[in-house]
């Protein structure tokens, strides 16, 4: 105990000493700024200016201390305010008080906590949280036009399609389409999961009946895509249809992706019987390399011919997957899966966090997005499960309805949840590879849904 007390006292003494040294340096620096640097004696003369600083106003020690207190974060939070562009009418401005910045920084730290301590999508939520804290630092200037780091990141690849497209390339390089090729019927489950996207459009219309909430069709489409549980696609579509809502849409999408193990199991169990959960599916057939190589090419050609507005996203997915399967450019495949994907994920997440400012988040519309996003995700899960039950009415070889929940785009987390729930009822029933079919189909389905919205509203 005595050793711990001595260590605490030593730390306190060192801290006090460092603060004293910092204060002395600040005072000396102030005097130097007002005097002449030729001789020490002239420092206190205050009559001869430093060469080249003749036009710089002199600051007394009192003024220096006063300005220091005035420019502290504490004072900015308590007494400060900032004029920002009005999101509804760009010709007007909105006043953001300092305390709202504090609230947003607290939200940023909460996001960091959820990622770091709770394991909710830590690769994404941790940088989003730090980006939220950074952009709301009073006087930090990290989002200043042309000079702020976060503004440069946002303009470089978040506010346009650059980073989401690179993410899709990396996802393609990481994804094995073999389970979908081996059992094409499961593509219907991925398509049925998109029910959440389109049902949410009607939810937006109902939400507009609530006083203080007002969405247009561009915003409704961007919100609805959250049902696909695909973060990059949500960012991509929001950037084209509702850039001012990108932050809360992205955070909602990634948050619900992270909460898949909590949200989906109750819905899956509610809609299925114990007998259905114990259905065993036969082993998938072997998929040849030729099939795996031709699949991304066929996927790209079909998207070009049928839904060209979705071709950019699907094309990058196909490109990454082709590089993975062809086997002659392994270095490129590994780079897409690791270094490139990690770097882009960091930059994309920081850029998303940079949009978490009070005027964009602290309003009824943002709360509505959180509610609608949850609705979309739940309906998407239900759509996949119910489609599997419907298919079983006509199939001789039954499908375990649990894999229908994997029709959302959260790869491979949703597939793992299907497998986990199945193992609870039969420890020998491994559904992971079967669930990967609808899971990767969901990625394609969400990209197609985004393409439909872009063709309809941004064409």
Q: What is the pLDDT along the chain (459 residues), one digit of tens a residue?
A: 556 666 667 767 777 666 666 555 555 554 444 444 444 444 444 455 566 666 767 767 777 676 766 677 777 777 777 766 655 555 667 777 888 889 999 999 998 998 899 887 788 889 999 999 999 988 888 888 878 999 999 989 888 889 999 999 999 999 999 999 999 999 999 999 888 888 888 888 888 888 878 888 888 888 888 877 778 888 889 888 888 888 788 878 877 777 788 889 999 999 999 999 999 998 899 999 999 999 999 999 999 999 998 999 999 999 999 999 999 999 999 999 999 999 999 999 999 888 888 888 888 888 888 888 888 889 999 999 999 999 999 998 899 999 999 988 888 888 999 999 999 999 999 999 999 999 999 999 999 989 988 888 875
Q: What backbone torsions phi and psi does residue 353 show, to the nearest 5 degrees?
A: -60, -30
Find all residues with CB under 8 Å of 21, minimum gap 6, and list them.
none
Residues 6+ apart with CB under 8 A from 371: 207
What pTM, to 2 d.p., does this model score? 0.80
- Closest to 352 measured CA to CA, from 250, 253, 258: 250
Residue 403 is classified by DSSP as: G
Q: Quote the tokens at residue 109.
A: 């730290």
Q: Which helix (H) or strand (E) holds 446?
A: helix 432-457
Backbone phi and psi for residue 326, each to the nearest 5 degrees, phi listed first = -70, -30
**5: which 2 tokens?**
């007390």
Rg, Å, the chain Cα set: 28
CA–CA separation, 384 and 379 (whole Å): 9
Q: Are 232 and 123 in contact (CB under 8 A)?
A: no
Residue 326 buriedness (CB in 10 A; 0-12 / 13-18 / 19+) = middle
Which neighbouring-strand residues pair with 93?
A: 85
Q: What string of H, E and C letters represents the secondary structure of 240-303?
A: HHCHHHHHHHHHHHHHHHHCHHHHHHHHHHHHCCHHHHCCCCCCCCCCCHHHHHHHHHHHHHHH
Kind of pairing between the strands at 93-97 and 81-85: antiparallel
CB 182 within 8 A of CB 285: yes
Among the residues of 274-412, which ranges form H helices?
A: 274-277, 289-306, 311-326, 330-335, 341-353, 358-361, 364-392
């Amino acid at each position: 105990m005595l050793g711990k007390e001595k260590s605490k006292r030593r730390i306190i003494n060192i801290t006090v000493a460092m603060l004293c040294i910092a204060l002395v340096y600040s005072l000396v620096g102030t005097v130097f700024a007002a005097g002449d640097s030729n001789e020490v004696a002239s420092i206190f003369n205050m009559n001869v200016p430093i060469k080249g600083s003749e036009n710089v106003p002199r600051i007394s020690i009192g003024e220096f201390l006063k300005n220091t207190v005035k420019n502290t974060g504490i004072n900015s939070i308590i007494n400060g305010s900032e004029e920002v562009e009005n999101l509804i009418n760009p010709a007007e401005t909105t006043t953001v008080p300092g305390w709202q910045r504090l609230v947003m920084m607290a939200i940023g730290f909460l996001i960091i906590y959820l990622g770091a301590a709770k394991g909710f999508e830590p690769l994404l939520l941790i940088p989003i949280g730090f980006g939220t804290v950074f952009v709301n630092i009073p006087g930090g200037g990290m989002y200043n036009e042309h000079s702020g780091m976060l503004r440069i990141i946002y303009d470089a690849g978040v506010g346009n399609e650059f980073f989401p497209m690179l993410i899709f390339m990396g996802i393609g390089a990481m994804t094995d389409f073999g389970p979908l090729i081996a059992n094409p019927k499961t593509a219907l489950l991925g398509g049925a999961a998109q029910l959440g996207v389109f049902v949410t459009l009607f939810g937006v219309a109902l939400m507009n009946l609530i006083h203080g909430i007002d969405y247009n069709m561009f915003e409704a489409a961007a919100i609805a895509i959250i049902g696909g549980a695909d973060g990059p696609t949500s960012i991509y579509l929001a950037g084209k249809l509702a850039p001012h809502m990108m932050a809360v849409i992205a955070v909602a999408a990634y948050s619900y992706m992270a909460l898949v193990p909590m949200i989906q199991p109750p819905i899956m169990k509610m809609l299925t019987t114990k007998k259905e959960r114990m259905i065993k599916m036969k082993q998938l057939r072997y998929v040849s390399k030729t099939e795996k190589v031709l699949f991304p090419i066929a996927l790209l050609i079909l998207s070009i011919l049928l839904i060209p507005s979705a071709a950019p996203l699907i094309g990058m997915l196909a490109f990454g997957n082709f590089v993975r399967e062809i086997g002659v450019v392994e270095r490129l495949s590994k780079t897409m899966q690791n270094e490139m994907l990690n770097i882009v994920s960091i930059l994309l997440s920081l850029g998303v966090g940079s949009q978490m400012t009070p005027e964009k988040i602290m309003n009824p519309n943002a709360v509505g997005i959180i509610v609608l996003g949850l609705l979309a995700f739940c309906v998407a899960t239900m759509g996949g499960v119910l489609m599997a039950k419907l298919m079983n009415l006509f199939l001789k070889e039954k499908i375990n309805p649990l894999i229908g929940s994997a029709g959302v785009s959260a790869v491979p987390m949703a597939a793992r949840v299907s497998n986990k729930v199945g193992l609870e009822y039969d420890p020998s029933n491994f559904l992971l590879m079967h669930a990967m079919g609808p899971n990767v189909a969901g990625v394609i389905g969400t990209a197609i849904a985004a393409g439909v919205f872009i063709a309809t509203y941004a064409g």
